[in-house]
């Protein structure tokens, strides 16, 4: 299901988190739970992975994570502002040290000149209060390609955040 390289990198992420006694939680929109699936494909992931939310709809972002509806209305679901709010909401609804959020346009439709297919925003929140956002523009790789690229980028962002 996942490449050996991605599984190996994820195992290294989990080992690093375990050594530092860090736990992880995720909130995913365009990846639909792929990050959580990848993490839990690694034996022993329960020592590090606390929980994952799949908040595909705007209503789910509001109801499950507490993202303010006005934020979605003002900036759109695919925005650094919403990615940040998703990460903060994940952290407040999970017993985790680090929370990652993902929201993007996977395609084949839904893209615009301002928010093209392949645009993905990530949010990272730490218990210590540090919150960052990251943007990636993968281009129109096809729906599966964008989701796969976002998955790999998410693991790297988590690796950096836990390091």
Give me the mean pLDDT over the 82-110 stretch: 98
Give me the mean pLDDT over the 143-147 stretch: 98
Q: What is the pTM of this model?
A: 0.97
Q: Report the candidate in 15, 21, 4 with the shortest Cα–Cα distance to residue 97.
A: 21
- pLDDT higher than 90, residue 49: yes
**How far apart are alpha carbons 88 and 63 in whole angstroms?**
14
Q: What is the pLDDT of residue 138?
A: 99
Query: What are 35's two structure tokens?
Result: 């990050």
**How far apart are alpha carbons 145 and 83 in whole angstroms?**
21
**How far apart are alpha carbons 113 and 62 in whole angstroms?**
26
With H, G, I as helix, E, B as strand and everything else as coil, classify residue 118. coil
- pLDDT higher than 90, residue 122: yes
Q: What is the pLDDT of residue 89?
A: 98
Q: Report the domain count for the chain.
A: 1
If pLDDT is split at 50, 70 and 90, which confidence band does 131 have?
Answer: very high
Give me the mean pLDDT over the 40-52 stretch: 99
- pLDDT higher than 90, residue 64: yes
Q: What is the pLDDT of residue 40?
A: 99
Give me the mean pLDDT over the 57-75 stretch: 99
**How far apart are alpha carbons 73 and 61 in whole angstroms?**
12
If pLDDT is split at 50, 70 and 90, which confidence band does 104 have?
Answer: very high
- pLDDT higher than 90, residue 85: yes
Backbone angles phi, psi at 142, to 5 degrees: 85, 155
**How far apart are alpha carbons 80 and 95 in whole angstroms?**
23
Are residues 105 and 78 in contact, defined by beta-carbon separation less than 8 angstroms?
Answer: yes
Are residues 82 and 103 in contact, defined by beta-carbon separation less than 8 angstroms?
Answer: yes
pLDDT-above-90 percentage for the chain = 97
- CATH code assigned at 33: 3.90.950.20
Rounded to the nearest integer, the mean pLDDT of the chain is 98
- pLDDT higher than 90, residue 1: no
Q: Which domain holds residue 154?
A: 4-162
């Amino acid at each position: 299901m996942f490449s050996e390289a991605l599984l190996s990198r994820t195992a290294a992420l989990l080992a690093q988190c375990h050594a530092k006694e860090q736990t992880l939680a995720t909130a995913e929109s365009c990846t639909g739970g792929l990050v959580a699936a990848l993490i839990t494909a690694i034996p022993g992931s329960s020592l590090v992975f606390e929980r994952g939310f799949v908040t595909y709809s705007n209503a789910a972002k509001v109801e499950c994570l507490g993202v303010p509806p006005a934020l979605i209305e003002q900036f759109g679901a695919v925005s650094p502002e919403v990615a940040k709010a998703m990460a903060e909401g994940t952290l407040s609804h999970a017993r985790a040290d680090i929370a990652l959020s993902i929201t993007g346009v996977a395609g084949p439709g839904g893209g615009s000149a301002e928010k093209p297919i392949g645009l993905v925003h990530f949010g990272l929140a730490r218990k210590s209060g540090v919150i960052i956002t990251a943007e990636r523009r993968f281009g129109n790789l096809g729906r599966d390609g964008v989701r796969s690229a976002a998955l790999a980028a998410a693991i790297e962002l988590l690796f950096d955040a836990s390091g």
